[in-house]
Each structure stands twice: as structure tokens, then as C-alpha cells.
Structure 1
Amino acid sequence: MKDKQLFVADFFAGCGGLSFGLELAGFHPAYVNELNKDAIESYLINREYEYPYLRDTAFHCNDIKDLVLNKKLLTNTIKELKNQLNIDVKNGDLDLLVGGPPCQGFSGIGHRRSYSVDKEQLPSNHLYEDMAYVVSVLKPKIFLFENVKGLLSAKWNPDGVKGEIWEDVLSTFKNLKDYQVNFSLVRAKDYGVSQNRPRVLLVGIRNDVYKKSESLIKGIVANGFLPSPTFDACDLEDLLGDLVDDNYENGGFTNKYVKPAATTVQKYFRTTVDGKLLAKGSILTEQEYSKHAPNVLTKFKYMHEHDGKIHESMKTKKFAQRVLPAKWDEKGPTITATSLPDDYVHFSQPRTLTVREWARLQGFPDYYRFAGSRTTGGIRRAGNPREGNFSRELPKYTQIGNAVPVFLAKAVGEHFAKIINKANES
């Protein structure tokens, strides 16, 4: 390992969207935490060649509380970070620590499945405290907390005050010693992502780093703690057009690219780790189509033929099902990829999106692999807090939907890298 490499510790990492974007910005993963076995396997299999040490228990854990409550484990991790990666935590060498605690208790979808349980009763809604503790111990130069827009207005219980949870989160991080803290609500579409996807990003910059790089910390987003927007999101037909198989079958799959890459963004997604552009006829993964019932196909076809409208006789309880536009209007992207791919109908075919198309929406290149089942539903995906069941399966669609969009993470990472490198030069 070279001395001047930038390293990041990623907590609640999921399948690795935030980490991957940061890696594109020049960071290297030093530690990963993720509770779900399939999600962390997705994270690890995509890094096992370049970062094999992550398989070592000194560099990953499932439950953050193992690290928080087990002093011996934490001490060993700090020791191995220095021995193997030359990161002297006690000397303030860790560059970046990021985390997005599970947000099902704050998001609109999570609220839909909360079974009327107060948010203060959901253990996952208090994990920000554990993240703050880890920050206080590892003392990174910069830390990033990210979560859903709903966190800003959430209440601990029906009798609470709107926004009280966010006030608790904000005060917890502001009370950390030696950090300047700022935050903003950002939209992924402003950073090259073909989604609206609003996210709350809270940034802490260590005082010594802030003083040395203050000249770079300027801007309209969180007073320069976050990067300025790029406003370069592409249309969906430019993003997904090369994956459209005119001969696809309902419930079938397409295992080879049927078209060459026609746009710059398609070429990006089809470029392998070693720089090879995948041509027509190359192997394509995760392009399996859901098997829709005849009445569903009829509804989708009707929607295509009637400007997205659903006939009264075909309406269901789906809260947001609509046809995706091939091109955005002047407002830009208006969708948010969630754990529910059946909320959206493909822009040119009567079907929902495949795992690979869902992954492209989030910025994952076509070589990125995902562990676990393709999809699941009901209690297995949401748990039942009323019965004390907090376990949740994370099939591929859910892993991808939960991820931080890669291009947003890359923009944030590039901004952080400039700040840290400036401080290192000083």
C-alpha cells in the first residue's frame, strides 16, 4: 500500500453503491460494515481481487454493535489498520468514514410497512448513535452521514414534534469534538443520476483539516461542504436503450447484448474492469424478465397506448405505478428507484425493469455482481416490528434500491478528496 492513498471506512454499506462511487473518486476501502449476509457478499465479491484483505474479520463486521460493544475487536481492528494498511488511527490517518443507517423507519415506503410501530421502537432508527461513537473513536478527517429526505420531518411517535428525530441526529453529530458540521438536502439528478432521489447528506470535517483546506470549502451546497451540482443526468433511452431486446419473452431472459453500445453512458456501463468494451454478442447478466400475468400485461400495454393512464377497471392499490419516459421533460428525472421495481413500467416494452436495468439506474456498471435472490416480498422483505420481527431479506432489487447512487457518491468523493489532499499538502 502506498502512503498517500486515500482510505474510507463504510458503515451500513449495503451492496456498495456509496463505496463504489468513492472508489471511482480515488478512495480505497479500509473497512466495511453491513448486517445483511447477501448485501455484504455483494460488496465483497466485487472487491475480492483488488482488496482481498476485506475478507479478514479485522476489516469487516456485520453488526456495528459488535465493534461498538467489543473493545477487544475494535482495538484489533485499529491495530490491523496500521499494520496492514499503514493507517494510524491514533494519529488521525483515516481519511473518510461514511455511513447510511437503515432508513425504512423514515422513508415513505418504510412508513408504509411500519405496522403502526412508533419510530422510537425501531432499533434501526437509533444506529446513528453507534455511527457517531465510531467516528469519535476512529477520528476520520471527514465523515459523511446520509439518509432519506423523510428523516428531516420524522417524529419519534404520533405525539411528537415534526423534525424532532433530525434534531436529535444533528445534535449528536454536532456534539462530536473537533469537527465542523454542515448538511444539505441534495437531489441525485443534479449529479448525473437519472433519478430525482433526494438524500440528506451531513458532513463533518475535522478542525485541523478544515483550517488547512478552508480555501477550497466554498460553494452553495452546505456552505461548500458538498460539491456543486453538475446537472448532467441522461435520458432513460440513452441509459438503457442498448439493453432493449425486441424478441424478449415474458418471464424469460436475455443473456447476450443484442445491440452495440450507442451512447457515451452505455459505453461506460459496458466497459469492464480491464478497460474492454463489451460488444454485441458478449455475455449479459441479470437481464431476466418478470413473468407478468395476462391481466398485468394488458394493463401495461394499455398504459403504453394511453400516455401512461390506467383504465379504471385495471387500477390496483399500487401507489405509484407509471410508465417511465424515454426522455425527461425540462424538469429532468422525476423517479426514485426503491426496493419495488414494479412501481415502474419500461418506457418501450410492457414489463417492469430487470435487475441489470435497475442497477444502471443506480450507476452500477454491468460487470457489478449481486448476491442473493432476485426478489422476494411481504414479511420476508419488510419484517413485522409489531411482532418483534426486525429481520429483513435483501434480494437484489432491494439491495440496489437501497444503495446510494454511484455518480452522486463519486461527485461527493471527488470533493472530499480535494479537501483532504489540500490538507495533506499543508
Structure 2
Amino acid sequence: MQKNFLSVVDLFAGCGGFGLGLEEAGFTPIFVNELNDDARSTYLVNRRDRYAHFREGMDESRWLNPFSSSDARKMTRKSYLDDLESRFESTFGIKHGEIDLIVGGPPCQGFSGIGHRRSYSVDKHDIPSNHLFKDMASIIRHLQPKAFVFENVRGLLTARWTPEGEPGEIWWAVKRAFARIGNYRIASQLLHAKDYGVAQNRPRVMLVGIRDDIAGAATRVDCIDEIDDTAIGLGFLPRPIGGAPDLMDLLGDLIDPEYTNGGQTAVYPKGPSADIQYLLRKKLSGEVAELGAPLTDHEYSKHSDHVKAKFQAMINGDHYVGTKKFAQRLLPPIWGAKGPMITATSLPDDYVHFKQARTLTVREWARLQGFPDWYQFRGKRTTGGIRRAGNPQEGIHFRELPKYTQIGNAVPVPLAREIGKNLAGILLAKR
């Protein structure tokens, strides 16, 4: 069976943006790891009907089964990984060293530029999640996939362990951890999602490893400073293709002229017109959702009259009185010469709709990340404060992950698809 598909193990998978893009590129997920229950249930509810192994022995109260896990740290145990490899061989015919790809974006609190809105006087050394990259490297060392991808936020490139530390010292530690695996050629690149068909700028750091029997000589640990900005040149990552859609094309068919403040639109208010609309409205059956078909997650936030007036003034180009909240920006219906300059975050009130005096719905947020409309999201719509952000000072490192947060944390689907297509070409050429 192994020869018939490209396999991927999805670590720190979130709600499945990276995974979905890889699936669209021809990969089959054989195992998923995600700590948060809401995000893991989102991942699995969208795949259980398509992959029998994600239905096997599923405990829907916890969304765990033999092919899914929550805590990646437990996966580093040799006994666990040996048992996992036995499962892969008996279920898929995949032997040791035959996994095609392992991907993961370990959460690194405090590295994101968005994360600096809330500051805590705590050393990043003391935040457990900031060391998960070592666990990912340990899992890769044991399973020996043909390739791996580590992804993270741009802030990782300059992050330091303490305020007195050296900029970039955490990134250097990440590169060293993966180089020490020993038999992979490693390269990295800062990619911008807008260069790969995504309606956002959204920079992401990608570190790619190709096993040396496929790529040639492995990277020496004493040469890790030479791997930056080399992944595209080596062919490990795809070259930019452009194609970021304008927001009127991306979201125009979701505009309901009869929407109500705090209400929801449960059916498509318009038929598809732009190519991107046809693509995102296409169901798994291949059928395209038409006017009046059911539409999910298109609920509107309830804004006060003052806020609605402010939003309308922004749309009209008038002066408005700002607030102490994180600065809100009006989304443009058509991008300027530089293309998309926004990044979808975990906060739904960051951006104002270009035509209606409101913030974006979950479904619109998902489209910004390239999720098709059939994709379901589990959990609360939104939360706030400590429930969403945690507080390392108080030892609270786990957060609720409502729908907006799950989407905002995801790797954009089109970017993941292009990365997957590029890696598929490398892997299939060596079969």
C-alpha cells in the first residue's frame, strides 16, 4: 500500500490548514498530533469520513484514537514510537524509514509580532511550549522520514530567550536541534503567503530537511549558519507564483445585503462569480454550492451603535475617533500595487469589512486562510482575555482555541498546497 500514496505525519497540527494543503497536493495524513481538544476535533471531524484510520476506535469525547495524540512530549518515548511504527506497518504497509513527510509548527509563545500586544516578564526558557521544537526533532530522529518541514512565525528569526539575550539565539537553537539529527540536508526560507495565492502577506519561516539518501550530503552542525535563505534556491521550497485574490473576489459572494447586526446568514446570499468563489464553494463531491445552499459559520458580531458609526466612517473615508483597542484597519476591496499587506490574526475585530460596517465572520476569516466552505470548525466562536491568551506568569500555558483563533493560527491552505506539490515532486522522483 505504501507505494500508492504519499504519507504525512502532522505534528502540532492545529485545525489542519497545513494538512489540508498537503492533502490537496496528494499527501495522505496517517497520524495527527494536536494538544488542544477544539483544534484536534476540527482536524478530525473534517477527515474521519475520508480516512478509515481516523474513525478506528475514535473516542469522540476526547477526539483521540490510535492514529491521533494530544501531547507531543509523550510521543518522544521510544516505546511509543516503536508501537506507532508497528501500527503504520500493519495498517499502511509503511516500514521504518518509509514515512514520506513529517510536518509541524510547534507553538512558540512570545515569538509572534502579534503576541507582543500582551507582555509578561517571564523568560522564554521557562515557557514549556518554547522547547517543543526539540521534541519534534526527537520524533524525526526516531521515525526517519524522507523529508520534514518545521514552520513558525517570522518573529522566531530574531527572538531571544531573555531581554538581555542575543537576537536570533532561539532560531540558532532550532537549527542546531534539527541539524543534530545528522542525516538530512537542511535549508530554510522566509515565505510570504501572498506570493502563493493567499489574500494576506503572512510571513512564515520554513525549515525543510531532505534525507541525505534523497538530497545528497547532509548538513554539518558547524555549518548551520549557512542554511538561511537557501531553501528555494536548492529546490526544497517552491518559487513564488503570485495570484493573491482581491477581497471583492474572495468574499464578495458572501455579502448579504439583508444581514442583521448580531445575526447570521445561513444560506449563500449570492451565486458564485469569480474563479476563487467557485473553488472555495466546491464540496467534496465536486458539486459547487449555488445560491440558497446552506452556509455555515457566517454569524455576525453584535456591535454597538457607536462602533457601527465608527466602522461606517472608515468605509466612507471620514475621520473617526480611535479607541484604546488594537488598531482596527479597513480591508480594501482591491489590493494596491504591493498586493496584500494584512495578516489574519486570532482576533476577529482587527479588520473591518470593506463594504459593511462590521468585522469579519468566521467563514470570511477562514476564506482569508484559503479554507474551503465545506470545512467545519469546532469549539466556541470567540473568547477573550485570559481564556484565549493564557498567562505564563501564573503558569497558565494552555489556551482556549475558539474558531477565530484556530483559523488565525493556521498555515494558509494555498501556501501549504504549493509546498506539498514541490515536496511531492522530490519524493516521487526518488521512488
Please give the TM-score of this superposition, normalised by the length of structure 1. Answer: 0.94
Unaligned runs of 5+ in 1: 213-218
Structure 1 residue 93 displacement after superposition = 0.5
- Per-residue CA deviation, residues 384-416 of structure 1 (Å, 9 max, x unaligned), is 111111120000000000000000000000000
Q: 2:149 aligns with which of 144, 150, 157?
A: 144
Q: 2:281 aligns with which of 259, 267, 270?
A: 270
Structure 1 residue 112 displacement after superposition = 2.6
Q: Is the 8 A contact 1:184 1:202 kept in 2?
A: yes
Deviates more, 1:151-160 or 1:168-177: 168-177
Query: How far, CA to CA, are the matches of 2:118 and 2:143 in structure 1?
Result: 35
Q: Is the 8 A contact 2:352 2:358 kept in 1?
A: yes
Q: Is the 8 A contact 2:2 2:94 kept in 1?
A: no
- Per-residue CA deviation, residues 190-215 of structure 1 (Å, 9 max, x unaligned), is 00000000000000000011149xxx
Please give the TM-score of this superposition, normalised by the length of structure 2. Answer: 0.93
Say whether residues 1:61 and 2:69 are aligned partners: yes
Q: 2:189 aligns with which of 184, 187, 195?
A: 184
Q: Which amino acid aligns with 1:63?
A: D
Query: How far, CA to CA, are the matches of 1:344 and 1:304 in structure 2?
Result: 12
Residue in 1 that maps onto 2:257? 246
Query: How far, CA to CA, are the matches of 1:408 and 1:42 in structure 2?
Result: 20
Query: How far, CA to CA, are the matches of 1:328 and 1:158 in structure 2?
Result: 37
Q: Aligned pair in 2 of structure 1 residues 220, 51: CA closer, same or farther (>3 Å)?
A: closer
Residue in 1 that maps onto 2:105? 100
Q: 2:93 aligns with which of 70, 86, 89?
A: 86
Query: How far, CA to CA, are the matches of 1:2 and 1:244 in structure 2?
Result: 45
Q: Aligned pair in 2 of structure 1 residues 412, 166: CA closer, same or farther (>3 Å)?
A: same
Q: Which amino acid aligns with 2:8?
A: V
- Per-residue CA deviation, residues 28-73 of structure 1 (Å, 9 max, x unaligned), is 001100000000000000001111312553311100011113x332
Residue in 2 that maps onto 1:327? 334
Q: Which amino acid aligns with 2:282?
A: T
Say whether residues 1:157 and 2:154 are aligned partners: no
Q: Is the 8 A contact 1:260 1:279 kept in 2?
A: yes
Residue in 1 that maps onto 2:49? 49
Q: Aligned pair in 2 of structure 1 residues 77, 2: CA closer, same or farther (>3 Å)?
A: closer
Unaligned runs of 5+ in 2: 57-64, 218-229
Residue in 2 that maps onto 1:223? 234
- Per-residue CA deviation, residues 273-327 of structure 1 (Å, 9 max, x unaligned), is 01001110100110000001111111101111126xx52xx21123331100000
Q: Which amino acid aligns with 2:281?
A: R
SS at match of 1:7: strand
Say whether residues 1:281 and 2:292 are aligned partners: yes
Structure 1 residue 103 displacement after superposition = 3.1
Q: Which amino acid aligns with 2:143?
A: L
Residue in 2 that maps onto 1:394? 401
Q: Which amino acid aligns with 1:61?
A: S
Query: How far, CA to CA, are the matches of 1:220 and 1:244 in structure 2?
Result: 40
Say whether residues 1:371 and 2:378 are aligned partners: yes
Residue in 2 that maps onto 1:9? 9
Q: Is the 8 A contact 1:114 1:385 kept in 2?
A: no
Residue in 2 that maps onto 1:406? 413
SS at match of 2:427: helix
Query: How far, CA to CA, are the matches of 1:107 and 1:40 in structure 2?
Result: 22
Query: How far, CA to CA, are the matches of 2:108 and 2:301 in structure 1?
Result: 27
Q: Is the 8 A contact 1:145 1:203 kept in 2?
A: yes
Structure 1 residue 365 displacement after superposition = 0.4
Residue in 2 that maps onto 1:215? none
Residue in 1 that maps onto 2:325? 318
Query: How far, CA to CA, are the matches of 1:2 and 1:163 in structure 2?
Result: 40
Q: Is the 8 A contact 1:193 1:405 kept in 2?
A: yes
Residue in 1 that maps onto 2:347? 340
Q: Is the 8 A contact 1:195 1:361 kept in 2?
A: yes
SS at match of 2:141: helix
How many residues are paired up? 411
Residue in 1 that maps onto 2:227? none
Structure 1 runs of 4+ off > 3 angstroms? none
Q: Which amino acid aligns with 2:151?
A: E
What is the root-mean-square deviation of aligned Cα atoms in Å? 1.4
